[in-house]
Chains A and B, each alone.
Chain A
Amino acid sequence: MIKKILQLLKVVKPGDCLLISLFCILVIVSIGFFWNLPQGEYLEIYKNNKLLTTYTLNQKISKKIDGSKGTTEIIINDGRARFSSSPCSKKYCIHQAWINKANQTIICIPNKISISIVGKEKKYDSVNY
């Protein structure tokens, strides 16, 4: 057993070590990056790919939306949002649970409804007046 490990170590060249460590760094940095996504400010609700409404996440509401299969319910609470009921059969959208970071999206394909968190970012870089 120990012999085998020693043999393996002989095969591993410095370049391999470099590659392995680079991938390790990449994984660690990615985790840090995705965990620190900016908190969202608004929830956008889309129906058939069209923006239906935008809600601020600073409220507690539940909203019923009629999609192509039936009524979907979306709730906003504590700065986050989720699907709470849906007429679709698999309920993937509900299993996604809460989202609260900018650019997070849940799509319910059967009922053609999706929700997306958006950040403070403005829609333009400057204003002409």
Chain B
Amino acid sequence: MRLNNLLVYFLVVFFVGCSDNKIQQQEDYIFGTIIGIKIYNETKIKAEKTSREIFNEFHRLHKLLHPWEKSLITDINDAIFKGKYITIDNEEVISIIKDAKNLETQTQNYFNPAIGKLIKLWGFHSNDFNQEVIPKEEEIERLVLLKPSMNSIKINDKILKSNKKNVQIDLGGYAKGYALDQAKKILNKNDIKNALINIGGNILAFGKNGEKYWKVGIQHPRKPNVIATIDLKPGWAIGTSGDYQRYIIIDNVRYSHLIDPKTGYPASNSQSATVLVPPSENVGVKSDVFSKPLFIANKKNKMAVAKALNINDFIIIMNDNLIFISKSMNDKIIWEETIDKKNITIIESS
């Protein structure tokens, strides 16, 4: 009997030791982008079940928050436009709207989910952005002067009303980050220890890649390779706002989907802004939202806004290919060899 136990013990240790570090990988297409889930060292059944649950949750959020296909958000927008009250029987959406309001204030209105009308005007309320003309100047100006803001939305016990008809909620810069935070909950619930979630470039590291940290490449905004790699430690998230994924080109000018709420025009001073966010309950939301102010603000204000938002780790690639990187971030990344170091300016935090 003792011998049998010993045999079983040896065999278990032997085969567990032999199974190589398996990463289960699943992909889906949601939120108009690619979702990648990597799960480390779990059984196939468990990894697939968890991934499916995460994808289902993302599909649910996509339907719930869609900015232009019929969703609770478009229902809210319709009611706002008609100047009506709307009763929202969905606590989650109410808390999302409240959160978005706070973030708008916190980011000094650079992140402004109330400018749905401007985003639509620029043709980004479609799946294939094929608008061929620049919107009329007076139309842009009209919408900017109305100063759409989430702060004109008042929620009182499930009843939502806006005192400005031109407020149209678009959670495009929030939903993917929120989805990352939801994914984290599902991983926890399913007792997964190590995973990496990528929603259209927004990445959350959950645990580690075995003995190593999850390693992430940061995309070059103009070349088909990465500019640097970074170890994403457990609980950290990374997000980039860039002008190279969603944009239109009209008369050889690039117009990104990142519209400056203050001018009504696509921000054009940067190619990309990347933020690295330390672990927190809403790390995903922060990684999605906080890259926007750094992308949109003018050169002078970028550092001030980073400081105000407590962003210690960032990389900003300007339109003239100059790279601004915080000291803290520079200590964490490994530059690819092809990057011209002359263009890099390291920002010491003050």
By a beta-carbon cutoff of 8 Å, the part of chain A in contact with chain B is 14-15, 18, 22, 25-26, 29, 123-129
Contact = CB atoms under 8 A, between A and B. Distances in A.
A25 B196 CA distance: 36
Contacts of A126: 36, 38, 196, 198, 203, 214, 216-217
Given A124-B217, A128-B219, 20 more contacts: A15-B3, A15-B6, A18-B7, A18-B10, A25-B14, A123-B215, A124-B216, A124-B229, A125-B38, A125-B216, A126-B203, A127-B218, A127-B226, A128-B198, A128-B202, A128-B240, A129-B201, A129-B218, A129-B219, A129-B242
A123 B38 contact: no
B7 A128 contact: no
B343 interface: no
Contacts of B10: 18, 22
Nearest to B337: A51
A128 B14 contact: no
A18 B3 CA distance: 9
A78 B240 CA distance: 42
A44 B219 CA distance: 24
A123 B229 contact: yes
Interface of B: 3, 6-7, 10, 14, 18, 23, 36, 38, 196, 198, 200-203, 209, 214-219, 226, 229, 238-240, 242, 244-245, 274
A124 B215 contact: yes
Contacts of A14: 3
Contacts of A18: 3, 6-7, 10
Contacts of A123: 215, 217, 229
Nearest to B217: A124
A128 B209 contact: no
Contacts of A125: 23, 38, 196, 209, 214-216
B37 to A, nearest CB: 10
Contacts of B217: 123-124, 126-128
The 8 closest A-B pairs by CB, nearest first: A129-B219, A129-B201, A124-B217, A124-B215, A127-B217, A126-B198, A128-B238, A124-B229
A126 B217 CA distance: 6
Contacts of A129: 200-201, 218-219, 240, 242, 244-245
A128 B241 CA distance: 10
Nearest to B202: A128
7 contacts: A15-B6, A22-B10, A124-B216, A128-B201, A128-B217, A129-B200, A129-B240
A39 to B, nearest CB: 17
Nearest to B274: A128
